[in-house]
Amino acid sequence: MMGRRPMSIVTSFRRQVLVPLRENGPLLMVCVATGVIMLGQGVIAPVLPLYAKDFGVSAAMIGASISVFGFARMLLNLPAGMLSDRFGRRLLLVAGPAITAVGSILSAFAGDIWQLLAFRFVAGAGSAMFMTGAITLVTDISTPENRGRMLGLYQGSLLLGVSIGPAIGGLTAELINLRAPFVVVGALAAGCAVWALRAMPETHPAPQPEPASGTAPAGGATMLALRPLFTNVGFTLVSLVTFAIFFTRTGARQTILPLLGDERLGITAGGLGAVFAMMALINLVAIGPAGAAADRFGRKRVIVPFAFVTAGALVMFALTHDLTLFLVAAVVQAIGTGLMGPAPAAYAADVIAPEARGVGMGLYRTYSDVGFVVGPPLLGWIADASGGYGWPLLFTAMLVAGSAAVFGVAAPETAGRRVEKVPEAVAAET
């Protein structure tokens, strides 16, 4: 039996990862592009708080330097989705990385915190375009029966980039300086834009033409398509869960944990990069089983328990005063977020009408980016007010656990063995 286990793992990897990528050209291309873009974002993760700190600003302003990237995405996700539904996905997949490249390179030459905020906003605008186009493309080519696995592959490519990036960013900062990683990110994004222009296919079946004179404006059609989502309990609650996860990602992990590691435990930028890389690698290993479980057993049975695991890890971080507990908490949080995996995005995609996928996924990403924006400055303010890093982490743990509990009680299931509401229901309401 022991001799057969490695073969089963290889077979499972081939079936769940290699075969779908080989047989689906658009999925392969968007996964490669996403991996490159997220490699760049991973490079920045352990460096940005320390870079901003060098300008002599408070923890709240350090949080703002992180959240401004998400603020740009929050403002532009919906317009990007409208562009995607109107002109196709490829426009976003080419223009987004190009804009990110400009913002990242300019960030390397920021003279003060305000310039850094402005240039990170530009980079975030490009990210809004690319990520909205990418996730919409995956929903175009997936079905409710395989959406968890396909989104898992997409998120796996994202995590692969993130897992490699922090180590590169931390090492680059230590060998050169804290500005150098931003140049690396700009170069990666520029290369991705060129590659997308040459090779990325269009998956929107029929981009909409310009409206004829006298017809209803596109904005009215957009609001008509979005109205069922604003009133759909499941979509709203899974968006709240995603808000909490992004709040955790940028507020707790990218803002509070580097500062806690630096001041309480003396961890260097390179060490933080290694910890973040380890967490992302655990996420990567978990993403395939997570997608398969979401398709087979349902989205809720994956989302709820592993959200509680994530909340437990945040409590452990809040209590840690030694490196061992810090590392244990990092592993537990990585397991929780990794096994939750693509289930929230798959749930959201289940209830979005096919004709409104771009703007619907843009709305879903807007909810997540509100968490991206609010988390860093709010937790930075709590840290300043409380004089430490425990209370921000405990607050985040309560947010994650609370959103998961409400979702588990009130949201209907959309996939797996116990479907309480068919995925096409919202589409029919439109």
CATH code of domain 24-202+221-429: 1.20.1250.20
- Whether the pLDDT of residue 220 is over 70: the answer is no
Average pLDDT over residues 200-222: 56
For 11-21, what is each residue's pLDDT tens digit? 554 555 555 55
- Asked whether 383 and 259 are in contact (CB, 8 A), the reply is yes
- Whether the pLDDT of residue 282 is over 70: the answer is yes
Where along the chain do its domains lie? 24-202+221-429
- Whether the pLDDT of residue 429 is over 50: the answer is no
Structure confidence at residue 249 as a pLDDT band (50, 70, 90)? confident
Structure confidence at residue 223 as a pLDDT band (50, 70, 90)? low
CA triplet 207, 194, 42: central angle to 5 degrees?
Answer: 100
Q: Which residues contact residue 141 at a Cβ distance below 8 angstroms, ignoring those fewer than 6 apart? A: 24, 26, 27, 150, 203
For 360-415, what is each residue's pLDDT tens digit? 888 898 888 888 778 888 998 999 898 888 999 999 999 999 999 999 999 988 86
Lowest mean pLDDT among 48-57, 162-171, 232-241, 244-253: 162-171
Report the pLDDT value the prediction gives residue 120, as an integer from 0 to 100: 92
CA distance 391 to 401: 15
Identify the helix (H) or strand (E) that includes residue 77. helix 59-87
| Strand locations in 168-224 (E) | none
For 110-141, what is each residue's pLDDT tens digit? 888 899 999 999 998 998 899 988 888 888 88
Higher-pLDDT residue of 1 and 176 is 176
Higher-pLDDT residue of 113 and 429 is 113
For 47-58, what is each residue's pLDDT tens digit? 888 888 888 888
Structure confidence at residue 4 as a pLDDT band (50, 70, 90)? very low
CA distance 27 to 21: 6
Higher-pLDDT residue of 430 and 250 is 250
Nearest to 107 by CA among 123, 128, 86, 96: 123
Report the pLDDT value the prediction gives residue 59, as an integer from 0 to 100: 74
Task: Enter the tokens of residue 152.
Answer: 């898992």
Higher-pLDDT residue of 311 and 287 is 311
- Whether the pLDDT of residue 199 is over 90: the answer is no
Structure confidence at residue 67 as a pLDDT band (50, 70, 90)? confident
Structure confidence at residue 417 as a pLDDT band (50, 70, 90)? low
Report the pLDDT value the prediction gives residue 215, as an integer from 0 to 100: 46
Report the pLDDT value the prediction gives residue 408, as an integer from 0 to 100: 93
Looking at every residue in the chain, the average pLDDT score rounds to 81
Q: What percent of the chain has pLDDT over 70?
A: 86
Average pLDDT over residues 91-100: 92
CB 84: neighbour CB atoms within 10 A?
A: 28
